Amino acid sequence: MAIDAVVIETPRGRYVRRDVPPTVAPLDRIRLATLPGLPPPDAPLVCLDTETTGLATAAGTIAFLVGVGWWERDLFHCVQLVVPDQPDEPAMLEALAELLPQDAWLVTYNGRGFDWPLLEARFRMDGRPAPRHLGHLDLLPFVRRVFRHRLSDARLRTVERELLGIGRTGDVEGAEIPGRYLDFLQGGSARPLQEVARHNVRDIHSLAALLEHIDTALADPARRSAANEGDLVALAHLYRRERRHEEALGCLDAALEMGSHPPIVAERGRTLRRLGRHAEALVAWRSIVTSGGSLTAVALVEIAKALEHTWSDPASALDVVDRGRLLAERGRALGRPMPVLEADLARRRRRLVDRLRRRSGGTDRAGRRRVGDPVPNGIP
């Protein structure tokens, strides 16, 4: 074949193997593993991408080219396996199984939804299970959760161009790839498959470059001050999902170094509350009220909840709720009703009034009983 490769004969058929010269791709695995959802530092990482005869994972679709990349220290190696004819697919599958360590994590882009289910189906068609692996890092969900806010879409080419600064020239369009292989099977030249092989190598190298970017831009806390603030907020959400609130707070603090934006301050207040740092959370909500804006009503509700439940100060909480009700009434008068907020404030007010009424028999009207940290001065 015209792709600078070798044809290997096996008892199960032939396959074509192409070894791509290694490239330098440093990756700090210990640092990378600190990020939520990323593989442990001792697990081998194997980047995988397929070129197929279609976009379905049904029995009629095969992966005629599989690219596999892995790290050896700071060098990134890549091997491509090609099916020269459809009856030779078992030979390629056997070679692929030998390349995938059982303790490895796969690294793909939409591989959970397409590449790996297709390969699993092809192994089943061959009468054996797919190779085992310990985990699967699909980078598409990570990109959508962390970087999508500043990308025009989440395609790998868009990630290359808008996030990694990598441009492709002379690349074959994905829609053309199945036809090129089918033309080859019908006796056409193998030369058009050269561009398909280059396309596949670029995809594999882009997986490595994306992991390197995630490592250098996000995994090192000392460098987060240079990261995009939206990326840091999204990363904080991922930490929060794993209940790693200290790490989430670190991301939010780094984001706030670039400017005090109320949505970030609000997320910081929620995170401080989850950490039990109620006085600091209250200061965060107060700052939102002081600055005004669309989150003022949300901040007032949070302040009221803290005063009622943390400091057992229903009278001050009632004052804050009434302030929130005035804000909601003003919004309704201006044609911007907030029905959910209004209902919440009404329920909260009824409860606070009842609580104060029950306590008025043996205490002053405020009924204050402070617990824990002192309430910061100047609560709205």
pLDDT digits (tens, 9 = 90+) for 55-108: 776 668 899 999 999 999 999 999 999 999 999 999 999 999 999 999 999 999
Sign of the four-CA dihedral 178, 183, 185, 190: negative
- CATH numeric code, 6-219: 3.30.420.10
SS3 assignment, position 50: strand
Q: Could you tell me if 175 and 150 are in contact, meaning their C-beta atoms sit under 8 angstroms apart?
A: no
Confidence of residue 223 (pLDDT cuts 50, 70, 90): confident
pLDDT tens for residues 287-305?
A: 999 988 889 989 999 999 9
Which residues in the chain are classed under CATH 3.30.420.10?
A: 6-219
Which pair of structure tokens corresponds to residue 121?
């189906």
* Nearest Cα residue to 132 out of 161, 99, 103: 103
CATH 1.25.40 intervals, the chain: 260-380
pLDDT for 50 beyond 80: yes
What contacts 24+ positions apart, CB below 8 Å, involve 127-131? Answer: 131/96, 131/97, 131/100, 131/102
The hierarchical CATH code for the domain 260-380 is: 1.25.40
